[in-house]
Structure 1
Amino acid sequence: MKAESRKRNLCLAVTAGVVIAIVLIIVILAFTVFKPRRPVDTIDSITIQEMHVGLNVAQLVVDLNITLGIEASINNPNHVGFKYSDSNALLNYRGQLVGEAPIPAGEIKAGETEFIKVSLTIMANRLLSNSQFFKDYISGSLPLSTWITTSGKVSILGFINVHVVSTSSCDFAINVSTKTIGQKECRYKTEL
């Protein structure tokens, strides 16, 4: 009986040792190789797809149609996939929302980059209601800012979920006479 008891105790000790070793390996991998890294949103380019601005001073009528094309990318540097939920690309004029376009949910595989193309049409009524618009139009430059926020999660080893929010924003100006985008200044931020 003592021999059986010893064998059983030895078997339990070996099993416990193996389980502890596996848990340690998983913890070490989770905090080194599979450590969550910050996905990065980047606004790669902003272009004018369509632009028509006309002023009829005699009739006090403004005809305005501006559509911007925004190309962005989301880079996932993690060793696991990044799932993000529905989002929006937003366009502001002097702190006022003047355009919005949806970005559908998706998933980016480990180490890959996803490219997103969005068309933002300026809501003319909101732009024209701003008292600064005519002054900016006459000066030849319309200051705008755009931003994209992607919210999602990185799942490590199938049971550790890390919530990630990545934001990119750019300030730029439309040159009215040449119908071009002036120099843009962009900022990027990611929170785990």
Structure 2
Amino acid sequence: MSTDTEQATPLAVGTKRPDNDEELPAASMTRRRSRLQGRCLICGGSWAAILIIIAIVIVVLALTVFKVKEPVMTMNSVTIEKLAVNFGAPSSSSSQLFAINMTVVADVSVKNPNAASVRFGASTTAIYYRAREMGVAYGPPGTARARRTFRINVTVDVMADRILGDANLFDDLAAGSIAVTTATKVGGRVRVLGVFKHHVDVMMNCSITMAVANQSIVGQNCNQKVRL
């Protein structure tokens, strides 16, 4: 009697079917998070690029259009309002044979070629006779607007007692002219785009020959020096 051997068929392992109600919301949240991160990266990159472009534009403007240029100082005129030479015999109170009274008015202008305003401080003007200081005057501060000219009028009262001891003075007076030199200095500050600050000093030395008879200027030569 044959015995039928029944082969045992293994039972299939049961698998859990995905629960669409649980996995779909999680996948959707992941995709939303990824899109949000991508948008943030794009937005941040755009702002960074804009800031870099603005910085480049500012630097280019500062080096080209708003580059600080040298102001130009000009001695427009030097006027002698009073030049009196009095000769006389020495008195008991003074041993001087002659006396000199002189007032000099200097009209100076500073041209600002920059695209920004320049604020100037008080100016200093000194007059010398053969390297001896005769007088000093100070001009008021002011502002030279962009591509405009700033005027400085200075009145110097000459202290003649400082030069009466010079042996060359009488010879110059007898020759009819006096040679003097003037030194004018003014400092300022220019601000570019409200950010960059530059200090500037403008100095000018002039050699002036003045006629004693009619108190006029017969010769003038000026040199300027600018320090940025």
The TM-score with structure 2 as length reference comes to 0.80
Give matches, 1:171-186, under 5 Å: 171-186=207-222
What is residue 18 of structure 1 aligned with on the other side?
50
Instruction: Name the structure where strand makes up a greater proportion of residues.
Output: 1
Alpha-carbon distance in 2 for matches of 1:23, 1:118: 44
* Greater relative contact order (CA < 8 Å, ≥ 6 in sequence): 1
Q: Which residue of 2 aligns with 1:90?
A: 126
RMSD across aligned C-alpha pairs, in angstroms? 1.4
- Point out where structure 1 has 5 or more consecutive residues left out of the alignment: none
Q: Which amino acid aligns with 2:60?
A: I
Q: Does 1:162 align with 2:214?
A: no
Equivalent positions of 1:82-161 (< 5 A) are: 82-161=118-197
Deviations 1:159-187 (A, max 9, x none): 21111111122101222233322211111
Consecutive unaligned residues of structure 2, counting only runs of 5 or more, are: 1-32
Q: What is aligned with 1:33? A: 65
Contact in 1 for aligned 2:142/2:150 (Cα 8 Å) = no
Task: Tell me the number of residue pairs that the alignment of Structure 1 and Structure 2 aligns.
Answer: 192
> Matched residues, percent identical?
30
Asked if 2 retains the 8 angstrom alpha-carbon contact of 1:43 and 1:169, the reply is no
The whole-number CA distance in structure 1 between the counterparts of 2:53 and 2:105 is 53
What SS class does the counterpart of residue 120 from structure 1 fall into?
strand
Q: Report the Cα distance in structure 1 between the residues aligned to 2:213 and 2:146, rounded to whole angstroms.
A: 44
For 1:177, the aligned partner's letter is A
User: Could you tell me how far apart the structure 2 residues matched to 1:7 and 1:179 are?
Assistant: 81
What amino acid maps onto 1:46 in structure 2? V
Query: Which one-letter code corresponds to 2:98 in the other structure?
Result: V
Task: Give the secondary-structure state (helix, strand or coil) at the position aligned to 1:183.
Answer: strand
Distance 1:64 1:97 in 2: 15
2-side partners of 1:58 and 1:93: how far apart? 24
TM-score normalised according to structure 1 size: 0.94
